[in-house]
Amino acid sequence: MSRPSSRRDFLAAALAASAVPRLTADVWNAWRPGPPDDALVAAVSLDIFNRHADRVRMANIAQTINVLQAMILTEGDRMALTPTYHVFELYTVHHDAVLLPLTFEGAQPRYEYQGQSIPAVSGSASRDKEGRIHITLTNLDPNRSRTVSGEITGAHVSRASGRVLTAAAMNARNTFDQPTAVQPAPFTGVRISGDRVTLDLPPKSVVLVELQ
């Protein structure tokens, strides 16, 4: 290969030499503070990065403390964890795990608003070093629960446990006076029947399920 003569040629040569181009998202966020819809944005963004893990090498949320879509808020000696923080904590199960393909049976549900529609459910799946399967699912519909089901292939599962992050209102948030208004709670809406798993997702929720 001849020596590149410019930065553009160097980039083109580097991409040509690599079977899979590598990408970096230097900053991303919703550019607004704290309510549960920030958590939904965070979860869907992480799902996108997970699905393209063969290409995405780094993706940095733009803010972490006391700014837009921060994960932690502080004031003097007080601290509050935001819904975005809890999404990041739920998704830590995917760290150092093997990405698993995730598809939904039947027509994928969609959320419609003012003549526009998007997929109502987003998700990621992985298997950790102990063989446990973790599935994170997000229901973007703020008004309707969604039921999804799928078949587990290549593994036998007999037990399921989970947690769910949601709130009664889209504008609910954690404050210094109510720091636990929005936080994960036990999730009981998962059923196993043979090799089939069914989940009932509450409106505007992020769900983590562990299968063993």
The answer as to whether 193 is a domain residue is yes
The answer as to whether 4 is a domain residue is no
| Range of the structural domain that residue 103 is part of | 20-211
Provide the domain count of the chain.
Answer: 1
The answer as to whether 190 is a domain residue is yes
Q: Which residues contact 157 (CB under 8 A, 6 or more apart)?
A: 133, 192, 195, 197, 211, 212
pLDDT by residue (tens digit) across 75-97?
999 999 999 999 999 999 999 99
The answer as to whether 15 is a domain residue is no
pTM of the predicted model as reported, rounded to 2 decimal places: 0.86
We report the CATH number of the domain holding residue 136 as 2.60.40.1180
The answer as to whether 149 is a domain residue is yes
Q: What is the dihedral of CA 104, 106, 108, 110, to 10 degrees?
A: -140
The answer as to whether 52 is a domain residue is yes
pLDDT by residue (tens digit) across 168-212?
998 888 999 999 999 999 999 999 999 999 999 999 999 999 999
The answer as to whether 142 is a domain residue is yes
